Structure 1
Amino acid sequence: MENRKVFMNRHNNLLQLEEHLYTLVDVEQPNVFRNLFPYDEVPKIAFNDRIVPHNFPEEIWITDTTFRDGQQSRAPYSTEQIVTIYDHLHKLGGPKGIIRQSEFFLYSKKDRDAVYKCMEKGYQFPEVTSWIRASKKDFQLVKDIGMKETGILVSCSDYHIFYKMKMTRREAMNHYLNIVQECLETGVAPRCHLEDITRSDIHGFVIPFCMELMKLGERYKIPVKVRACDTMGYGVNFSGAVIPRSVQGIIYGLVTHAGIPPQLLEWHGHNDFYKAVTNSTTAWLYGACGVNCSLFGIGERTGNTPLEAMVFEYGQLKGTLDGMDTTVITELADYFAKEIGYKIPPRTPFVGKNFNVTRAGIHADGLLKNEEIYNIFDTEKFLNRPVLVAVSNTSGLAGIAHWINSYFKLKGSEAVDKNDSLVLKVKDWVDKEYDGGRVTVITDDELIAVINDVRETI
């Protein structure tokens, strides 16, 4: 410790001791953190109460994996569908390109055709990047297509190194560094996907490996990006949790100990324990500029971090959407439903059919008086989705009045209140339906027919 340098940290004006340098720990037996991940028990979340300081970058952004990880859990998109979605991502990202990149497979002709068509658009953002097998032939393919960057899989937990690859840590590290060097020699910037980082030995393998990656980047004068992949969704954002499960602990280690600049670091989360969104936000807060997402969270098993969720996380953290056109989120949801045939669960935030629909009569009464009472924000402005009330046996007069006003876009003096004769007669019909044993929600078509009948009698 006596030889470690003391220097002034200009961010907080405090003297700071130079961080410890971590070297590869080449163990004979894999460290699978059995104390945290007993396979026959629920995983453990342990704490050591070591607090990591916030390190929110000046710029943050979103990267997209809809056409890569998103295609690994569903039928492949057609070339036309990929190009249409890509157009929408460009529009959603706005003039500042908050959706910075989108990654593509290059394996099939369909994938390559989509890449060419998207690149022909000439958009600066999202930049078209690839994800390939780690071979010199594929690196050359990336360069020939005209891409500046590609993703490379570099699994980093002992689960993968010992059990899948049948290597030691040193063998794996040398293997990965040789692959990355081959990529750099072709003039392509590698993006190293640290698979299964939340079960990895952060100090004994991940940090020493990433330090070598940074050295290669300096030698070749080409940036080497690092994507921290929470492949199994084990990451947690609780203050004082231990690594490798602590998201802020991982990000701190990669930035402070491995020396990765925030602009070269991104987080890729999965939702196995319902933590994909909060973990991605945490990665931003503690020093990663990028979070990797897929539309509607479509991805392996429980899926990836939903891209649309991080758009609104961005807005909440930055205090501005920076020009992102959030109405495109609804356009994309409609496109997926009508053109692709994907069924979005109805209660999915921002995009589900029922996300801003209320059925409770007491809530409907509040909405009728002021929609801010029960709506998260102006959903009509941001998502082109006016707040709605579904009519059922609990909707009451207020719910029916709100449905009529919303559906027919009646405002001001044209709007009906809950004591209007039209509302009273529709309510009588609804009550008779449920008194007769009905248990389902009244459909829009039924309500329209009843309203038309009632209007003829008024």
Structure 2
Amino acid sequence: MGKNRIQIFDTSLRDGEQVPGCKLNAKEKVIIAKKLEVLGVDVIEAGFPTSSPEDYKSVQEICRSVSKTIVCALSRAVEKDIEMAALSLKYAKKPRIHTGIGTSNCHIRYKFNSTPEKIIEQAIHAVKYAKKFVEDVEFYAEDAGRTENEFLAKVCENVIKYGATVINIPDTTGYCLPEEYGNKIRFLKENVKGIHKTILSTHCHNDLGLATANSLAGIMNGAEQVECTINGIGERAGNTSLEEIVMIIKQNSHLNLFTNINTKLISSISNLVSESTGMKIQANKAIVGTNAFSHSSGIHQDGIIKKRETYESINPEDVGINESSIILTARSGRAALAYRYKKLGYLLNKNSLDLVYSVFLEYADKKKEITDTELKIILKQANLNEKNNQMLHTTNTTNSIRINVV
């Protein structure tokens, strides 16, 4: 059986940019959009045109700048919003309008002061109106995570009937557990007439740290598109992280899924988005954090030196990182110390290594990390030199695994 492709819908430039202090101008958005196209994303959500003149301009410029990727503009289920979205997409080779409305009891009652019947009417009207401008119309059922499945199915069936090509099921508040979200997607696949004619999409927030897990549960239960952001940026605690969901799919071949993402470009676009938005990446962030391929525990270092797979399930080269890192700290062992010296050109025998290691520990207990300069100082303090044959010097240091000297 062939693998099924999961489409990657990147909303870094829309939902991702909604983070306080994360404002991007049109030029910055275009640069990122071009990189997203090269990365291989299927859809770029370029912005919310009616929200500001700058956002409108950004969407237009992105449409002029990309040619292979679908460019999507967000709107509420309001005619003016939809018109603005359509105008901003005028130059898009592959335009998509993303319109929708809240469907949970909470949204219907408190946000719209409305009724379920009126919400369905607004949803139908929004899709019908958007279809006047573009063929590709995505409908979002905001707060679908907290929407009763039977009503959600009714909404979906109606918008599909009037032309929705993609149905987005957002867990807007990050409320769902993976099993609940997966079951919701499965319920829609099995109970909505016409659902198999559309693309069913996940859009999960990370309020409880479950965005990626929920997206995975969604695609394992029939969703064909994942909405996500670079580095997981987005409202409040963020969105599903593009790099996480893509690498989960890549590393787990038994899922029988694939994406069109060139994973070797992940690290570079992660750094670009971080620098452009001013949103620093936490050190322990999966896939792209500075510690993701760094090792400081002696047991782990010994294993990684012998064979990378002992403590790395992902090859760093697969995400555009040239080498793993052996970080020397007080937790490091003799194997890591010998390895780092070898990278500097010094091959220590057992007696020399024991002597150097004792001096190293005195340094390491006082510092967070030992540098190459300090390693050379430690050699001098241990009174090692080539004349007494306690140490050999070599300039040909090769190893079966490339480890970066930090």
Same fold (TM over 0.5): yes
Question: Could you tell me which of 261, 270, 279 is aligned with 2:205?
Answer: 270
Deviations 1:158-180 (A, max 9, x none): 00001211111112222222222
1:355 matches 2:298: no
Equivalent pair of 1:227/1:265 in contact (CA under 8 Å): yes
Counterparts of 1:347 and 1:129, CA distance in 2: 32
Question: Could you tell me which of 427, 442, 450 is aligned with 2:369?
Answer: 442
Q: Indicate how the Cα distance of structure 1 residues 363 and 417 shifts in structure 2: closer, same or farther if over 3 A, else same.
A: farther
Consecutive unaligned residues of structure 1, counting only runs of 5 or more, are 1-55, 218-222, 239-245
Counterparts of 1:314 and 1:262, CA distance in 2: 24
- What is the aligned residue count? 376
Equivalent pair of 2:243/2:266 in contact (CA under 8 Å): yes
Counterparts of 1:334 and 1:348, CA distance in 2: 13
Letter in 1 for 2:117: R
Question: Could you tell me which of 171, 188, 201 is aligned with 1:254?
Answer: 188
Deviations 1:274-303 (A, max 9, x none): 221121112111111101101111111221
Deviations 1:243-284 (A, max 9, x none): xxx223211222221131274210101122222112111211
Equivalent pair of 2:97/2:134 in contact (CA under 8 Å): no
Deviations 1:184-233 (A, max 9, x none): 23345432111111211211x2111211112111xxxxx43210000122
Q: Indicate how the Cα distance of structure 1 residues 76 and 155 shifts in structure 2: closer, same or farther if over 3 A, else same.
A: same
Does 316-325 or 344-353 show the bigger shift? 316-325
Q: Indicate how the Cα distance of structure 1 residues 447 and 372 shifts in structure 2: closer, same or farther if over 3 A, else same.
A: farther
Deviations 1:104-128 (A, max 9, x none): 2213333233323322234312x21
**Structural mapping, 1:129-144, within 5 Å:** 129-144=72-87
User: Following TM superposition, by how much is the alpha carbon of 1:321 offset from its aligned partner in structure 2, in angstroms?
Assistant: 5.7
Counterparts of 1:337 and 1:444, CA distance in 2: 26
The alignment partner of 1:353 has SS state of coil
1:287 matches 2:222: yes
Letter in 2 for 1:342: M
1:394 matches 2:331: yes
Per the normalisation by structure 2, the TM-score is: 0.82
1:312 matches 2:312: no
Q: Indicate how the Cα distance of structure 1 residues 109 and 443 shifts in structure 2: closer, same or farther if over 3 A, else same.
A: farther
The alignment partner of 2:102 has SS state of coil
Equivalent pair of 1:213/1:224 in contact (CA under 8 Å): no
Partner in structure 2 of residue 241 of structure 1: none
Q: Indicate how the Cα distance of structure 1 residues 158 and 379 shifts in structure 2: closer, same or farther if over 3 A, else same.
A: same
Partner in structure 2 of residue 69 of structure 1: 15
User: Following TM superposition, by how much is the alpha carbon of 1:381 offset from its aligned partner in structure 2, in angstroms?
Assistant: 4.3
Partner in structure 2 of residue 430 of structure 1: 360
Q: Indicate how the Cα distance of structure 1 residues 335 and 456 shifts in structure 2: closer, same or farther if over 3 A, else same.
A: farther
Partner in structure 1 of residue 52 of structure 2: 108
Letter in 2 for 1:161: I
Counterparts of 2:307 and 2:297, CA distance in 1: 15
Letter in 2 for 1:271: N
Structure 1 residue runs of 4+, over 6 Å off?
451-456
Question: Could you tell me which of 68, 73, 76 is aligned with 1:124?
Answer: 68
Partner in structure 2 of residue 170 of structure 1: 117
**Structural mapping, 1:31-430, within 5 Å:** 58-74=4-20, 75-93=22-40, 98-106=41-49, 107-125=51-69, 127-144=70-87, 145-146=89-90, 147=92, 148-187=95-134, 189-203=136-150, 205-217=151-163, 223-238=164-179, 246-259=180-193, 260-261=195-196, 263-315=198-250, 316-317=252-253, 324-404=261-341, 416=347, 419=350, 427-430=357-360
The alignment partner of 1:185 has SS state of coil
Equivalent pair of 2:34/2:66 in contact (CA under 8 Å): no
Taking every aligned residue pair, what percent have the same amino acid on both sides? 25
Counterparts of 2:25 and 2:341, CA distance in 1: 40
Counterparts of 2:347 and 2:258, CA distance in 1: 35
Partner in structure 2 of residue 31 of structure 1: none
Counterparts of 1:363 and 1:82, CA distance in 2: 40
Does 368-377 or 112-121 show the bigger shift? 112-121
Deviations 1:42-90 (A, max 9, x none): xxxxxxxxxxxxxx98332111111111111132112232222222222
The alignment partner of 1:261 has SS state of helix
User: Following TM superposition, by how much is the alpha carbon of 1:152 offset from its aligned partner in structure 2, in angstroms?
Assistant: 1.6
The alignment partner of 2:170 has SS state of strand
User: Following TM superposition, by how much is the alpha carbon of 1:453 offset from its aligned partner in structure 2, in angstroms?
Assistant: 6.8
Deviations 1:141-172 (A, max 9, x none): 33333253211231010000012111111122
Counterparts of 2:307 and 2:118, CA distance in 1: 64
Letter in 2 for 1:201: E
Counterparts of 1:418 and 1:232, CA distance in 2: 58
Q: Indicate how the Cα distance of structure 1 residues 395 and 201 shifts in structure 2: closer, same or farther if over 3 A, else same.
A: same
Does 332-341 or 306-315 show the bigger shift? 332-341
User: Following TM superposition, by how much is the alpha carbon of 1:434 offset from its aligned partner in structure 2, in angstroms?
Assistant: 4.3
Equivalent pair of 1:367/1:402 in contact (CA under 8 Å): no
